[in-house]
C-alpha cells in the first residue's frame, strides 16, 4: 500500500463496502490456527484476527471472546437501526463447577476436540511446487544408471531446488508446526550437501565407463559420494511429504533426531513426566493427549505416535485396555517377522513394558502365544556382535529377552506390576 487512500480502499473492500458507496457494511472476523498474524498479507492484514492455539483451554477462551465481539457488533447495528429496544444477543460462557463441586457437561469440549482434529498445514498446501522439485531425474535416478552423464544439469537442478526452498522458508516458518519445520530444514541441508558433492566430484564432466550390466563404473568412488547424498534427499523428502501425517507433530522431530539418547531426553522422558503428573492428579489433561488421538496413534505408521499410545497405556485405567495393548504388541511383532533384521525394537519394548505395568489378568493365554512368537525370533535377532548392524541393536535384543522372561515369570494374580528391571531400549 503506497498511501492512506489505498489503505482505505482496501479496507473497504475487505469489509464488503464499495469505495464509492458506504451504505452497506459486512464485518469480517478472521480466525487463524497454526498461523501468526504477521503471516497474513494483503487487505486481510488490516483486519484484527483471532489466533487460536492448539490447546483446548485456549480454543474455548479465544472462541468465547470472538463470539462476544461478534455479538457486540450485531447488537450495536441493531441499536443503530431500530427505534424500539432491540433483542440483544449474548454468548453463554463455558460452564464451570457449581456449588456442589460437580462439573457440568461442557459442549465446548466437543467443539475444542473438533478444532484439534483439523489437520495442520502441509508443505504442499503452502508450497504448491514442492513435489515438482524432487520428483524428477535430478533426485530420482541413481548415478550408476545415468544415461547421459550431464552432471552440470544435475548440479543446476540441485541449486535451483535449494534456492526455491530458501525463498519459501518464511512462509514455511510461519505456518508449519515445529517438527515439520525441522524436517524441512533437514531436507534443505541435504539438498545443499548434494549440490556441493556434485560440484566437488563431477563438475569437470568426467566420463565413466560401463560394466556388463550397463551401469557406470565408479573406481574412485566419485559417484558413490553423490549417490549417498541423493538417497538422503529421498528419505528426507518422503518423511516430509508422507500422505499419512503423524498424529503428533513431535513424531517428525523424533525421526529427525538420530541418537536414541537424544530422542529419550528431548521427547520420551518429558512425555512420561507429563503422563505421570496426569496420573498423580487423577484427572485427564487434554493438553497431554486425547482419546481420539490415542485411537489414531495406535495404528500410526509413525513410531513416536505408537510410543505415546504405549506410554499412555502403561498408566491408563480405562483406555487403552490390556487387549488394546496386546494388539499393539502383535502389530509391533508382525513388523519384525516380515523383516530379515529389525530396524528398531523400541516400539516392541514399550508395548511389552505397558503390558507388564498393567498386568495380564484374563489375557494370559494370548500373552503367552505372543511371547512364544518373540522367543522364536530371539536367536535370529541376537546375532553375534561382529555380524550385527551395531552393538546397540544386540543390547536391545537382550533387553527384549529379559522383558519376555519377566513377563513369563510374573504372577497373574498380582494385577498391575511396575517390573523390576526398568531398562528402556
Q: Does 101 have pLDDT greater than 50?
A: yes
Residue 28 lies in a domain: yes
Q: Does 156 have pLDDT greater than 70?
A: yes
Which tens digits make up the pLDDT trace of 19-34? 444 444 678 888 888 7
289 and 178 inside one domain: no
User: What are the φ and ψ backbone dihedral angles of 51, each rounded to 5 degrees?
Assistant: -100, 120
- CB < 8 Å & 24+ apart, contacts of 225-228: 225/197, 225/201, 226/143, 226/194, 226/197, 226/198, 226/201, 226/202, 227/142, 227/143, 227/144
Q: What local confidence, expressed as pLDDT, does residue 342 receive?
A: 55
Residue 414 lies in a domain: no
Rank 210-214, 223-227, 257-261, 284-288 by mean pLDDT and report only the highest: 223-227
222 and 308 inside one domain: no
Sign of the CA dihedral running 336, 339, 340, 341:
negative
Q: What local confidence, expressed as pLDDT, does residue 96 receive?
A: 59
147 and 207 inside one domain: yes
Which tens digits make up the pLDDT trace of 332-385? 998 877 766 556 788 999 999 999 999 877 788 899 999 998 888 776 665 555
Which tens digits make up the pLDDT trace of 169-223? 988 888 888 888 999 999 999 999 999 999 989 887 567 777 777 788 876 788 8
Q: What local confidence, expressed as pLDDT, does residue 120 receive?
A: 81
Q: Does 288 have pLDDT greater than 70?
A: no
Give the pTM: 0.67
Residue range of the domain that includes 170: 130-240
Q: Does 394 have pLDDT greater than 50?
A: no
Q: What is the largest CA-CA distance in the chain?
A: 94
* 24 vs 130, more confident: 130
Residue 326 burial class via C-beta count within 10 angstroms: exposed 0-12, middle 13-18, buried 19 and up: buried
Which tens digits make up the pLDDT trace of 102-125? 556 678 888 888 888 888 888 988
- Share the mean pLDDT of the chain: 79
Which tens digits make up the pLDDT trace of 27-59? 888 888 877 777 777 787 888 888 888 888 888
3-state SS, residue 52: strand
Residue 419 lies in a domain: no
Q: Does 13 have pLDDT greater than 90?
A: no
Alpha-carbon span 419 to 357, nearest angstrom: 7
142 and 178 inside one domain: yes
Q: What local confidence, expressed as pLDDT, does residue 206 receive?
A: 63
Name the grid cell of 74: 450485531
405 and 265 inside one domain: yes
% the chain with pLDDT above 70: 78
Q: What local confidence, expressed as pLDDT, does residue 327 receive?
A: 95
Q: Does 15 have pLDDT greater than 60?
A: no
Q: What local confidence, expressed as pLDDT, does residue 205 receive?
A: 56
The Cα-based distances of 365 to 107, 369, 371 in angstroms read 42, 6, 10
261 and 377 inside one domain: yes
The Cα-based distances of 263 to 179, 198, 269, 281 in angstroms read 13, 32, 9, 27
344 and 374 inside one domain: yes
Q: How many domains does the chain have?
A: 3
339 and 384 inside one domain: yes
Name the grid cell of 202: 563431477
Q: Does 424 have pLDDT greater than 70?
A: no
401 and 283 inside one domain: yes
307 and 348 inside one domain: yes
352 and 384 inside one domain: yes
Which band of pLDDT confidence, cut at 50, 70 and 90, is reported for residue 162?
very high
Q: What local confidence, expressed as pLDDT, does residue 104 receive?
A: 60
391 and 282 inside one domain: yes
Which band of pLDDT confidence, cut at 50, 70 and 90, is reported for residue 17?
very low
Rank 85-89, 100-104, 135-139, 201-205 by mean pLDDT and report only the highest: 135-139
Amino acid at each position: 500500500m503506497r498511501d492512506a487512500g489505498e489503505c482505505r480502499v482496501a479496507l473497504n473492500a475487505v469489509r464488503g463496502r464499495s469505495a464509492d458507496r458506504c451504505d452497506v457494511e459486512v464485518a469480517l472476523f478472521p480466525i487463524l490456527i497454526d498461523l501468526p498474524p504477521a503471516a497474513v498479507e494483503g487487505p486481510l492484514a488490516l483486519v484484527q484476527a483471532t489466533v487460536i492455539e492448539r490447546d483446548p483451554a485456549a480454543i474455548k477462551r479465544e472462541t468465547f471472546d470472538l463470539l462476544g465481539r461478534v455479538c457486540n457488533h450485531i447488537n450495536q447495528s441493531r441499536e443503530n437501526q431500530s427505534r424500539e429496544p432491540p433483542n440483544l444477543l449474548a454468548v453463554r460462557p463455558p460452564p464451570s463447577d457449581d456449588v456442589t463441586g460437580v462439573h457440568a457437561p461442557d459442549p465446548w469440549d466437543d467443539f475444542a476436540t473438533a478444532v484439534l482434529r483439523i489437520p495442520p498445514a502441509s508443505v504442499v498446501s503452502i508450497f504448491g511446487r514442492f513435489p515438482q522439485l524432487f520428483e524428477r531425474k535430478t533426485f530420482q535416478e541413481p548415478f550408476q544408471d545415468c544415461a547421459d552423464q550431464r552432471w552440470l544439469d544435475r548440479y543446476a537442478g540441485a541449486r535451483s531446488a535449494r534456492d526455491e526452498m530458501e525463498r519459501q522458508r518464511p512462509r514455511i516458518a510461519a505456518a508449519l508446526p515445529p517438527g515439520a519445520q525441522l524436517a524441512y530444514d533437514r531436507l534443505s541441508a541435504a539438498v545443499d550437501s548434494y549440490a556441493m558433492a556434485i560440484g566437488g566430484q563431477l563438475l569437470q564432466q568426467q566420463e565413466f565407463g560401463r560394466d556388463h550390466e550397463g551401469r557406470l563404473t565408479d573406481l574412485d568412488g566419485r559417484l558413490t559420494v553423490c549417490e549417498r547424498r541423493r538417497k538422503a534427499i529421498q528419505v528426507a523428502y518422503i518423511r516430509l511429504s508422507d500422505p499419512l501425517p503423524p498424529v503428533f507433530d513431535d513424531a517428525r522431530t523424533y525421526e529427525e533426531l538420530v541418537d536414541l539418547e537424544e530422542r529419550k531426553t528431548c521427547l520420551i522422558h518429558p512425555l512420561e513426566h507429563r503422563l505421570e503428573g496426569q496420573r498423580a492428579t487423577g484427572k485427564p489433561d487434554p493438553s497431554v493427549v486425547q482419546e481420539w488421538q490415542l485411537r489414531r496413534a495406535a495404528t500410526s505408521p509413525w513410531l513416536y505416535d505408537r510410543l505415546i499410545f504405549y506410554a499412555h497405556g502403561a498408566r491408563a485405567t480405562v483406555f487403552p485396555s490390556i487387549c488394546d495393548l496386546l494388539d499393539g504388541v502383535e502389530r509391533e511383532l508382525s513388523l519384525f517377522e516380515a523383516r530379515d533384521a529389525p530396524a528398531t525394537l523400541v516400539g516392541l519394548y514399550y508395548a511389552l513394558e505397558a503390558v507388564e505395568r498393567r498386568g495380564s489378568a484374563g489375557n494370559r493365554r494370548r500373552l503367552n502365544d505372543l511371547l512364544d512368537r518373540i522367543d522364536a525370533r530371539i536367536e535370529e535377532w541376537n546375532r553375534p556382535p561382529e555380524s550385527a548392524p551395531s552393538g546397540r541393536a544386540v543390547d536391545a535384543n537382550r533387553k527384549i529377552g529379559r522383558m519376555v522372561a519377566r513377563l513369563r515369570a510374573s504372577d497373574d494374580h498380582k494385577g498391575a506390576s511396575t517390573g523390576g528391571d526398568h531398562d528402556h531400549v
